[in-house]
A and B are shown apart, each in its own frame.
Chain A
């Protein structure tokens, strides 16, 4: 079974500093994808970044980068130069490979980390 663990219920960072949000995962699949989403207080889920299990380089999207360590089964999100608008819940998620050749991939989420950026 797939499992995502986010051990940091809350994180604080000062504006313009970098912050790392931790994510570890457990899966028996050889091929899988890892995602990070941001959820502001409005509730919408905003996709941030994706990392494939066979990608050799860490993914980057603007100020977001994913520190992928496959052997340790970790996929930490790094936000550089934090902004006040980064204050939100952040979720790590994993998608496994095909289920019975249906093309379906179950998307499982962690419990999230609440990030607060202070001026």
Chain B
């Protein structure tokens, strides 16, 4: 069966420090991968998505970047965190080419920039 792992679960980082959040998927190949951010009490904002290794699309200009070094690995990074980067970050995957299958989400990372 397919599973998605996302870590760490919580993170407190000072302003100006770097960030690396990792997400890995097991039990499937060539998944579509997503990074979302959710501000407190708000909806999910799509940050990045990827259809394959090294293929990253950004939805909004921001202080963050994403990479997909392996088929089932998706990394969210920042060189220097801002206070506005605080939020709940969710990684998700879905089967490529399948309209009627849902996206599966990781447990999320709650990031607080202080």
Contact = CB atoms under 8 A, between A and B. Distances in A.
A43 B96 contact: no
Contacts of A110: 43
Interface centre among A93, A103, A112 (most CB of B within 10 A): A103
B62 to A, nearest CB: 17
Interface string A88-115: 0001010101110011111111111010
Interface string A16-36: 000000000000000111010
Contacts of A33: 99-100
A117 B92 CA distance: 28
B73 interface: no
The size bracket of the interface on A is: 20 to 34
A44 interface: yes
A112 B45 CA distance: 12
Interface in B1-60: 32, 34, 36, 41-44, 46, 49, 51-52
Given A43-B108, A107-B94, A50 B100 contact: yes
Interface string B94-110: 10110110111101101
Main secondary structure on B side of the interface with A: strand
Contacts, number: 66
Interface centre among A31, A52, A111 (most CB of B within 10 A): A111
A103 B97 contact: yes
A33 B101 CA distance: 9
B51 A47 contact: no
Nearest to B104: A47
B66 interface: no
B74 interface: no
A45 interface: yes
Interface of A: 6, 31-33, 35, 43-45, 47, 50, 52, 91, 93, 95, 97-99, 102-112, 114
Interface of B: 32, 34, 36, 41-44, 46, 49, 51-52, 88, 90, 92, 94, 96-97, 99-100, 102-105, 107-108, 110
